[in-house]
Structures are given as structure tokens and as C-alpha cells.
Homo-oligomer: A and B are copies of this chain.
Amino acid sequence: MEYKILNKENIVEYINLIENVRDFFSGDDLYIDEIGDGNLNYVFIIKSIKDPKKALILKQAVPYLRCIGEDYPLSKERMTFESRALKQFSSITNEFIPKIYHVSEQMSCVIMQYLESHVIMRDGLINRVIYPNFSEHISTFLAQNLFKTSSLYLDSKTKRELVDKFNSNSELCKLTEDFVFTFAFMEHDTNDSYAKGHALANELFNNTKFKIEVLKLKYKFMNQNDALLHGDLHTGSIMLNEKDTYIIDPEFSFVGPFGFDIGALIGNLIMSYTSHVALNIKDDYNKWILKTIEDVLVKFNDKFLYLWNQKDESSLIVSGFINENDLNDYKKDFMLNILQDSIAYAGCKMARRMFGIAGVADIRDIEDDETKDHAIKMTLEIAREFVKNRKNIKKISTVINIIKEKTK
């Protein structure tokens, strides 16, 4: 089928062509609504009028960046990478990925399970909802997918084939290169108007030591093929409730550095934390966020190492090459590197959200400027420490202490 942009009016006609979806709704009259508030794509909900619990999500990429408009062309082939990533993640951690009903590369569209009782995690955090299973779930997702798509698990050829599948996601990688690592740290017309003449923005834009470290992290983002990444794992790419956790929207997926997804997640949890501190919420909720940050890092480390210890031989380590004690030292060092990269990427992700395009609602929506600036200031202080001093951070507890220290 030739590509056309779907809308509330022509969606029914389209999905009637898809057996799988037709069967799902078994002839019910349908109600269609647009629910997308993402930056890139259109998202619709399709519901049976008779039985509104019978519902699916349709997501379609358009040939431009939705949040900027047709002036910012962007290949709709990004949906190809999203569907490949959904498949790959499902094959490893099925329980955290919405069920897929239909994928069309021509139509750049995917139809999947509607998560009816789940909310976008960012909204949940803003509304101070506690998710008791979250750190357990996300650490499993991260450890399983990062380990099992790396050279520590795959043979050398399979790893290269994985790289092949995602390597051409150039446009979305470039968006990250530009908007996460570059424009948000200099005067640029895509930045938020709040940056204009703001003392904290000026300080950030002139912090060359910080920016040199950002260059190093950007270089690593562009050139290091550790494992398959979601590529944009902030709290807006997670839907959950008290029971389940789902990962959505992996259109930025590519094979990149281990720490990038972990960093995106940790950075966004920290921005939630600083926003609540600035808003003077000193209750148990903040304790839960901080504990969650620590738990994600600790559990990721333990689960990744557990998987590694189960695997005697890999393309990297041939059995008999090195004795177990020395191998354990190597692993410890390897995990420390992942931690240091993770918090450095967290720092980049946090700092870029302060004045760059697409700020986070947690902070940007704070109405009182003084309170907002307080949140920005704390966030930037943590970010700077993470980016500039990552090599001196040797323990997860130090990461937590830095967050506490800078938000006292």
C-alpha cells in the first residue's frame, strides 16, 4: 500500500484491510481519537464503541518532525527501526513491550496493544504516584537487553548483523547528536525562549570544561557499538501502573554505548526529584524517587553481572584465556565504566533539557519562575558534577550523595 498520512477519518478504511486487526475488533463499530503528544509522530487510539476496553493504538510516522512541523523534514523510515527494536526487545523481555498487531514499513505505521490502565511515567511522577515494581522491572529490561545484544553475549558475526539492522537510523541519531549534545549548550534558535539572557543559561553555554566532556560523550555516542539501545529512554517513553511497566517509542534505537539508556532514565528521574525539591515537597515521595534511582543502578549492576557470570564463553572472552579472579577484576572495572558513562549521559540529558528544545514538563511547567530557576540550578549542578567528575565516582552511593548534596 502506498504511503499516505492517516487521520481520524481514513483510519477505519485502512485497518479494515488488516486481517489481524479486523479479527480483533470482530466487526464492532469503531471510535477513533488522536492522542499523540509526542515530539515526532501521530498516535491514535482505536476503540470498539460497544466495548471500549477493546482498543488498539496506531502510531504513524510522518515525513517531518511533528513538534516542529513540515519545515523540519525527517524520514518516515524511522518507524522501521522502531518496529525492529520492538521485535528485538520482545524477543528478550516480552513482558515489558506492548503486544504488536501489525507493522507496515510502507505505511510507516505500527498497531499495538492499548495500555488502558497505564500512564506515561512522567505524568505519574509529576502527580507523585509511587510505582513499587518499577526499579525491579526496568533494571531487568536494561540488564537483559544491554547484555544480550553486546559482545559479552553474542558471537562476533551475530553482533555485526545486529549493528547492520540499526546502523542506518542516521536521522534520529543525528537528532540526538544535535539536540542532546550540541544546540542545548550554545546560543541556538531552536532553544527555549526562556534561555534568552538567563544567567544560568549563559553560565552553561560558557562552561567550556563541561562542554569538552560533552564532546567526548558525543563522540562515544557516535562511535561506540556496545549494545542495542532504546535511544530515548526518558520517563515519557515508559508507560506503567503500580503493577506493570511497558517500554514504548524506540524509534531512536541503534547500537550505541551501554550507559546511554541508563543515563537517560536516571537523568529524568533526577529531574523529577529536583522539581519536587524546588516545589518544596519534602515527603516520602522524594525518598521513594531517590531510592528508585539507587535501586535501578544497583539492580542493573547485579543483574547484568549475574547474566555475565552465567556465560562462560563469548566473542570477547574465550574460556581458558584468563583465570577467574582476574576475570572478576576485569568485570568489576567494566561495570564501573558503565556506571561512570551512565551518570555522565544522565548529566548531558539533564542539562540539555534545561534550555534546549523539548524541555521536561516536570520543570518547564513550574509556573513560578523563582521555583523553576531553583529546580534548574540544582539540576545543572548535579549534571555538571556527573559530566565533569564521572571518573572520580567509584560507587553508586556516591551518585546518591551527590544528588542529596546538591539539593540540600
Contact = CB atoms under 8 A, between A and B. Distances in A.
A220 to B, nearest CB: 9
Interface in A199-247: 208-209, 211-212, 215-216, 218-219, 222-226
Interface string A154-186: 001101110110011011011001100011011
Contacts of A224: 223-225
A187 B174 CA distance: 46
By CB atoms of chain B within 10 A, which of A216, A219, A223 has the most?
A: A223
A171 B157 CA distance: 7
B182 A160 contact: no
A177 B218 contact: no
A221 to B, nearest CB: 10
Interface of A: 151, 156-157, 159-161, 163-164, 167-168, 170-171, 173-174, 177-178, 182-183, 185-187, 208-209, 211-212, 215-216, 218-219, 222-226, 315-318, 320-323, 326, 329-330
Given A157-B174, A164-B164, A323-B208, A215 B315 contact: no
In the A-B complex, list the 9 residue pairs whose CB atoms are closest, starting with the nearest: A157-B170, A208-B326, A223-B225, A156-B174, A160-B170, A151-B222, A212-B330, A182-B318, A186-B321
Given A159-B222, A182-B321, A222-B316, 9 more contacts: A151-B219, A157-B170, A160-B167, A164-B167, A182-B318, A186-B318, A186-B321, A215-B330, A223-B226
A183 B224 CA distance: 25
By CB atoms of chain B within 10 A, which of A156, A171, A209 has the most?
A: A156
A156 B329 CA distance: 36
B329 A212 contact: yes
Contacts of A177: 156, 315
Nearest to A164: B167
Contacts of A167: 160, 163-164, 167
A215 B157 contact: no
Contact of A211 (B183, B223, B225, B321): B321
Specify how many copies of this chain sit in the oligomer: 2
A347 B318 CA distance: 20
29 contacts: A151-B219, A151-B222, A151-B223, A156-B170, A156-B174, A156-B177, A156-B222, A159-B222, A160-B168, A160-B170, A160-B173, A164-B164, A164-B167, A167-B167, A183-B318, A185-B321, A186-B318, A186-B320, A186-B321, A211-B321, A211-B322, A211-B326, A215-B316, A216-B330, A218-B316, A222-B315, A223-B225, A223-B226, A224-B225
Contacts of A318: 178, 182-183, 186
Contacts of A330: 212, 215-216
B215 A317 contact: yes
A340 to B, nearest CB: 15
A168 B174 contact: no
A42 to B, nearest CB: 25
A208 B322 contact: yes
A320 B187 contact: yes
A152 to B, nearest CB: 9
Contacts of A315: 174, 177, 222
A218 B316 CA distance: 7
Contacts of A156: 170, 173-174, 177, 222
A402 B178 CA distance: 43
Contacts of A215: 316-317, 321-322, 330
Contacts of A321: 182, 185-186, 211, 215
A191 to B, nearest CB: 13
